[in-house]
Amino acid sequence: MLKNKYKSLLITILILLFLSIQIISAKKLPLSNIIITIDPGHGGRDPGTSYNSILEKDINLQIALQLEKKLINKGATVYMTRRSDVDLSSIYDSKKKRGDLYRRLLLIKENKSNLYISIHINWYGNANYHGAEVLYNQINKDNKLLAESIMKEFNNNLKSNRKIHTTDLYMYKNTTVPGVLVECGYLSNYQERNLLLTEDYQKKLSESITNGIINYFKLITKS
Ligand SMILES: [Zn+2]
């Protein structure tokens, strides 16, 4: 009997020890206690931009799923506005695109996100244009800081020659939650199109975005 008591006491102590180690290690991660909503652009009835059978919505989702893994590894709580090939419009929406974007905004707010990241792919008539870039709306003073922080990673790690821009698109001017629109590259550029389709490059993009987010939180906690 006494032996059993010692046994269960020992097991309880070991469980408590294990749990406290888990809590301590979780606290050390740079994005612990941070809630991030990832918004893979387009989906379902809305393919976004395209090149033959290559659709923006598919690449957006692939990059977003890579980004989700990286952010979770750094301790963040991550939500996605979509995890499959769907759009968020309802059968009752007279304007489907607006309904889709409106529900993405609602999710960002409902998730109590500390920030959101919209993932898109660019297109331009001049096929020489290439490089990942970040767009932001001035509704929130932190948006520019986040955009600069991610852009720096794209410039340094992906050799992007592009820079940040402002955007007045519906989605970005209608939420005060800090966030940016990431245009991961140009589908209209031959080399970049091929890169964007590879898992390796999708991982590199995700890593740059994650590092940019970590640096952003370091900057805002300092100021
Ligand atoms: Zn797009």
Partners of 54 in the beta sheet? Answer: 51
Residue whose C-alpha is closest to residue 60's, from 81, 74, 79: 81
Q: Distance between CA 223 and CA 169 in Å, rounded? A: 29
Phi, psi of 113 (to 5 degrees): -65, 140
Q: Report how far ligand 1's centroid is from the alpha carbon of 8 (Å).
A: 57
Q: Report how far ligand 1's centroid is from the alpha carbon of 123 (Å).
A: 9
pLDDT confidence of residue 24: 62
Residue whose C-alpha is closest to residue 163's, from 131, 188, 187: 131
Task: Compute the Cα dihedral for 131, 136, 142, 144 and give only its sign.
Answer: positive
pLDDT confidence of residue 25: 58
Q: Report how far ligand 1's centroid is from the alpha carbon of 62 (Å).
A: 14
- Where exactly are the structural domains of the chain? 37-222
Q: Report how far ligand 1's centroid is from the alpha carbon of 49 (Å).
A: 6
CATH number of 37-222: 3.40.630.40
Q: Distance between CA 159 and CA 194 in Å, rounded? A: 16
Q: Report how far ligand 1's centroid is from the alpha carbon of 48 (Å).
A: 5
pLDDT in tens, the chain (223 residues): 567 788 888 888 888 888 777 766 556 899 999 999 999 999 999 999 999 999 999 999 999 999 999 999 999 999 999 999 999 999 999 999 999 999 999 999 999 999 999 999 999 999 999 999 999 999 999 999 999 999 999 999 999 999 999 999 999 999 999 999 999 999 999 999 999 999 999 999 999 999 999 999 999 988 7
Q: Report how far ligand 1's centroid is from the alpha carbon of 37 (Å).
A: 17
